[in-house]
């Protein structure tokens, strides 16, 4: 959820504009690292203003036409080829209208390691002042309150498991239902390192222009474990009940946290990206 500066390197050729609509903590910073060497790309461009616009739009203070006008003006001002931001998931309908030829990269991380990383981020990082009001709108704590199973999260000031899991599932459902399949590439976060050619082909750029040696950015600084705060059986129950369709489609072999960690082939600390 941290903002990274725009790359100022010129692109090697004129390419099709693309937006990443990956969830927060799904590898958006790593995707930025892959593209930033050769292309005009930004991670969370004008995040504070965009989040404020989304909130104002949800409250009826900004209409759709004004929102689209802002996106056009921002595009002219920043002149990006690739816009990578977790906030893009909330403005897909506007992006499709304003940029009818654009392509979309959807990063989907399994919910178990996503929860591990997200909870760790909320506990260990200083959240920028523009983000908390948006998080409350996003995670809906009044609707998804804590239970006896996640009181330790409440004590840490972190949203309930149902609130977080609902947000994960909503992202998957929204992206896969709204984005046209012919202009959408779905990449699973744990497969990002092995998907360079697929990414390059989708974006119609040379594979060699991807900066493959930079590694992962925005790694977690939290050394804790989610299972020390939430019972693993409860966690599995919530995921399997709230995300059945999404899990069947993207993670059919994952029914618990242990299955999820096997996807990565790494130890727990390395998975907290």
Tens-place pLDDT, residues 20-77: 999 999 999 999 999 999 999 999 999 999 999 999 999 999 999 999 999 999 999 9
pLDDT score for 8: 54
Q: Are 263 and 250 in contact (CB under 8 A)?
A: no
pLDDT score for 221: 65
10 located within any domain: no
**Distance, C-alpha 35 to centroid of its chain:** 17
Cα–Cα distance for residue pair 36/7, rounded to 1 Å = 5
73 located within any domain: yes
H or E, element range at 41: strand 41-43
145 located within any domain: yes
Structure tokens at 39: 């292309």
Question: Does residue 12 register a pLDDT over 60?
Answer: no
Q: What value does the mean pLDDT take over residues 126-149?
A: 96
Averaged pLDDT score across all residues of the chain = 91
9 located within any domain: no
12 located within any domain: no
At 155, is the pLDDT very low, low, confident or very high (cuts 50, 70, 90)?
A: very high
3-state SS of 220-234 is CCCCCCHHHCCCHHH
Tens-place pLDDT, residues 242-251: 999 999 999 9
pTM of the model: 0.90
Tens-place pLDDT, residues 185-230: 999 999 999 999 999 999 999 999 998 775 555 566 677 899 999 9
For residue 171, give Cα distances in angstroms to 48, 63, 217: 20, 23, 22
95 located within any domain: yes
Q: Residue 223 sits in a domain of what CATH number?
A: 3.40.50
When divided into structural domains, the chain yields a total of: 1
Cα–Cα distance for residue pair 20/167, rounded to 1 Å = 17
56 located within any domain: yes
User: Which residues face 105 on adjacent strands?
Assistant: 20, 185
30 located within any domain: yes
State the residue range of the domain holding 112: 18-271
């Amino acid at each position: 959820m941290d903002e990274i500066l725009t790359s100022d390197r010129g692109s090697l050729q004129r390419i099709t504009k693309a937006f990443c609509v990956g969830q927060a903590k799904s590898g958006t910073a790593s995707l930025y690292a892959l593209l930033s060497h050769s292309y005009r790309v930004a991670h969370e461009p004008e995040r504070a203003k965009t989040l404020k616009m989304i909130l104002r739009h949800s409250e009826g203070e900004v209409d759709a036409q004004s929102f689209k006008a802002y996106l056009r003006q921002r595009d002219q001002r920043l002149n990006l080829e690739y816009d990578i931001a977790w906030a893009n998931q909330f403005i897909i309908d506007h992006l499709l209208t304003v940029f009818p030829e654009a392509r979309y990269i959807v990063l989907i991380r399994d919910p178990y390691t996503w929860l591990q990383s997200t909870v760790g981020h909320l506990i260990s990082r200083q959240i920028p002042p523009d983000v908390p009001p948006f998080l409350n709108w996003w995670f809906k704590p009044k609707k998804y309150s804590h239970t006896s199973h996640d009181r330790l999260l409440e004590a840490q000031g972190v949203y309930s498991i149902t609130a977080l899991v609902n947000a994960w599932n909503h992202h998957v459902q929204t992206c896969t239902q709204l984005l046209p399949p012919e202009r959408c590439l779905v990449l699973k976060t744990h497969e990002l390192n092995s998907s360079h050619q697929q990414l390059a082909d989708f974006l119609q750029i040379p594979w060699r222009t991807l900066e493959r040696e930079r590694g992962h950015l925005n790694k977690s600084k939290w050394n804790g474990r989610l299972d020390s705060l939430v019972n693993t059986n409860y966690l599995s129950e919530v995921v399997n009940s709230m995300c059945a369709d999404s899990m069947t489609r993207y993670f059919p072999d994952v029914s618990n946290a242990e299955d999820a960690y096997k996807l990565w082939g790494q130890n727990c600390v390395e998975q907290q990206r």
